[in-house]
Amino acid sequence: MTDSRPVLTMTGISKSFPGVRALHDVNFRLFPGEVHALMGENGAGKSTLIKVLTGVYDTDEGAITLHDEPVSFTGPMQATAAGVSTVFQEVNLCTNLSVAENIFIGREPRLLGAVRWGEVRRRARALLADLDLDLDVSAPLGSYSLAIQQMVAIARAIDIKARVLILDEPTSSLDADEVAQLFRIMRQLRDEGIAILFVTHFLDQVYEIADRITVLRNGGLVGEYLTTELPQLSLVEKMIGKELDVLEGIEEHSRRDLAALEEGTPLVAVSNFGRAGAVEPFSLTIHAGEVVGLAGLLGSGRTEVARLLFGADRADGGQVAVDGTASSLRTPAQAIDHGVGFCSENRRAEGIVADLSVRENMILAMQAARGWLRPIPRRRQDELVDKYVKALNIRPADPEVPVRNLSGGNQQKVLLARWLITEPRLLILDEPTRGIDIGAKTEIQKLVTQLSDGGMAVLFISAELEEVLRLSHKVAVMRDRQMVAQLANDESLDADRIMQTIASGSHREEADR
């Protein structure tokens, strides 16, 4: 593998968007007959690199060569014609057309301008047989599962005589068996000498299939490694960009007694709660006054857990008990009735109504809970809003300012206040401290502690392990859309152990499911 020359090289690639440096001086190379994983957290620059490679974006700086020839594609079509095919996460085929037509449309064999359907079907069957796929090629593509559609997309890509195949998160919506099918085909293509660039969030899959790994972080190149020479823990460190010994020096504030809290009926208990394609079934109990931390890499399924608990997505199965009574959390309205509040990680799109005032934003959830026919008296509104503006130290302390004029940290506090006004019993905070300054961050952390002392249960989601450790009574760890562990936050728990749990080997308790 390594002794041949790279089929593709990218050298010194930089790309900026207004206000964002998406890629900075990144090098990347791809050898024939290898599966090369491109790793990094969300926003690390993986997608941008692929878009630069396939000509969706121009480069600001840097050079790309294919077979030692400099190339600069103007778009995916030109890249495909040159032998660089991309299969995207979302299958870009037409589900209303037949399998055979999806493989050949645009280059059907014709006779005097008429498509030779017999020949199309025969060649489609032959091509799919090479991939060990036995499909009815005249059936509409939409009658097959997403995994099969994905493979038909690969069949289309390799029929264009691809030398480089880019698979952009092809496994994100596949189940274990489907992933196995895909990997079988990837190995086959690799053995035929095709260079495969594989992007995924799933660490286990990387170690199963990839020969080489390139890690990006914050738009920069961290390094290129042989999979065999990079332990999984080191990979996680490189993706997150923190050495373990740095993490160990965290000051540990409040380690509260979990055993005392866990006596009595849990406030919310779910078991076998899950949603296909989003998060594997998990069980979790949350008691009044308990802060449960949810740790894991971006994209590991943390937000999905939160959305299920709030009813924003509907669980496929499992049981829910609130206060020990069987119950359901199928819609946000039901969740709110049970006293669940949810501060979304995406405060701009899903939380804050930028044009409404601080006061109007704060009372939204309470008004929704009361029903629109029972307006909250203005005096009561003012009381509540004043109280929380003071309590949370929101600046400017003027309830009539449009929220758009507030800083990110203060917007986050307004959002928090919105749910606090409804006096929830369980508050789900998804990345409440992301992208806000250190002062506001500390205030929010302090607030979480106060709330839980007052008996409120909190599910606290954060990418920052220090924060999770400081606040939580117990930490649930997500990896590859599974809840892999629930760790009591006692003396023995530190960032190192959480990190190891996030990274830990290819051992998957529920792989047989």
* C-alpha dist (Å) from residue 347 to 137, 231, 342, 409, 475: 46, 36, 11, 11, 24
Q: Which is nearer to another protein, 177 or 229 (CB)?
A: 177
CB 53 within 8 A of CB 84: yes
- Residue 18 CB, nearest distance to another protein (Å)? 23
Q: How many residues does the chain have?
A: 513
Give me 311's structure tokens. 């009813």
Listed as own residue / partner, the contacts of 376-385 with beta carbons closer than 8 Å and 24 or more positions apart are 384/421, 385/358, 385/359, 385/417
- Residue 207 CB, nearest distance to another protein (Å)? 15
- Residue 91 CB, nearest distance to another protein (Å)? 8
Q: Which is nearer to another protein, 36 or 156 (CB)?
A: 156
User: d(Cα 260, Cα 288) in Å, to the nearest integer?
Assistant: 11
Residues that bind another protein in the complex, under the rule CB under 8 A: 76-77, 80, 88, 91-97, 101, 105-106, 108, 110, 113-115, 117, 132-136, 139-140, 142-145, 148, 156, 177, 180-181, 183-184
Q: Which is nearer to another protein, 136 or 400 (CB)?
A: 136
Of the candidates 410, 418, 415, 468, the residue with the CA atom closest to the CA atom of residue 440: 410
User: d(Cα 52, Cα 13) in Å, to the nearest integer?
Assistant: 9
* C-alpha dist (Å) from residue 444 to 451, 455, 496: 10, 17, 25
Q: Which is nearer to another protein, 26 or 127 (CB)?
A: 127
The sign of the CA dihedral 235, 241, 244, 247 is: negative
Q: Which is nearer to another protein, 132 or 490 (CB)?
A: 132
* C-alpha dist (Å) from residue 433 to 88, 223, 347, 404, 451: 32, 29, 11, 18, 16
Of the candidates 12, 8, 9, the residue with the CA atom closest to the CA atom of residue 62: 12
- Residue 213 CB, nearest distance to another protein (Å)? 22
Q: Which is nearer to another protein, 52 or 456 (CB)?
A: 52
- Residue 129 CB, nearest distance to another protein (Å)? 8
User: d(Cα 119, Cα 103) in Å, to the nearest integer?
Assistant: 12
* C-alpha dist (Å) from residue 154 to 125, 170, 233, 243, 401: 14, 10, 32, 38, 53
Q: Which is nearer to another protein, 42 or 92 (CB)?
A: 92
Give me 226's structure tokens. 């042989």
- Residue 78 CB, nearest distance to another protein (Å)? 9
Q: Write down the residue that tokens 């250190």 correspond to.
A: 438
- Residue 13 CB, nearest distance to another protein (Å)? 23
Q: Which is nearer to another protein, 19 or 106 (CB)?
A: 106
Which phi and psi angles does 300 have, rounded to 5°?
Answer: -85, -5
Q: Which is nearer to another protein, 22 or 79 (CB)?
A: 79
- Residue 350 CB, nearest distance to another protein (Å)? 24
- Residue 443 CB, nearest distance to another protein (Å)? 44
